[in-house]
Structure 1
Amino acid sequence: MPERHEQDDQEREFDLRWAESAEHKEPSARARMLAARWKENPPGPVPFRGEPDYVARRQRRSGWISTAIVLGCVAGVIVLLGYVNFRGGY
């Protein structure tokens, strides 16, 4: 039984080497689909990076908002625990 497994591995290795050494490689299905679509309707120019100012502003603002919310919740829990401890009379 181990011999068959070893033989399958060798055949698979041979197939992979044979496939990788092919001179002509067919494009993927997605590449063929996009090529056909773009032949009829080519895409417009697109910047290398999309609107970095908007993304940076949004990330900065959302970072501060989430930080303020977390700190507010922590402060609220501390105040609530202090109030419960104070009312408990321990």
Structure 2
Amino acid sequence: MSERDDEEREFDLKWADGAEQKEPSARARMLAARWKENPPGPVPFRADPEHVGSRRRSSWVSTAVVLGCVAAVIVLLGYINFRAPY
């Protein structure tokens, strides 16, 4: 019975793919309706040069914070291990 279902499903997919016109997705219809009333403004492809520098600094700061936290955990674990009685 499952082989027949597979054959029917394959036939349906071929039939659907062969359609001349395809209906847009629900999201595409929603965006088309929204943009008809209020079209979106232009969006630049690349970021402004002034924002690029601030992102580089923040990545260094976040890297330093992560490495500092890792170092603090290592020191804390070493201190706990040093004080623990054997």
The question of a shared fold, defined as TM-score above 0.5 by the shorter chain, is answered with yes
Q: Any idea what the Cα deviations from partners look like across 1:56-88, whole Å, max 9, x if unmatched?
A: 531x22321233223334167448837x74x88
Where in structure 1 do 4 or more consecutive aligned residues deviate above 6 Å?
Answer: none
1:5 counterpart letter in structure 2: S
Q: Which residue of structure 2 aligns with residue 36 of structure 1?
A: 33
**Identity percentage of aligned residues:** 67
Equivalenced residue count is 83
Q: TM-score, normalised by structure 2?
A: 0.69
Report the structure number with the largest CA radius of gyration.
1
Q: TM-score, normalised by structure 1?
A: 0.66
In structure 2, distance between residues paired with 1:76 and 1:6: 59
Give the alignment's Cα RMSD to 1 decimal: 3.0
Q: Match of 1:13, SS?
A: helix
Structure 2 gap ranges (5+):
none
Structure 1 gap ranges (5+):
none
Equivalent residue for 1:66, pick from 55, 62, 85: 62
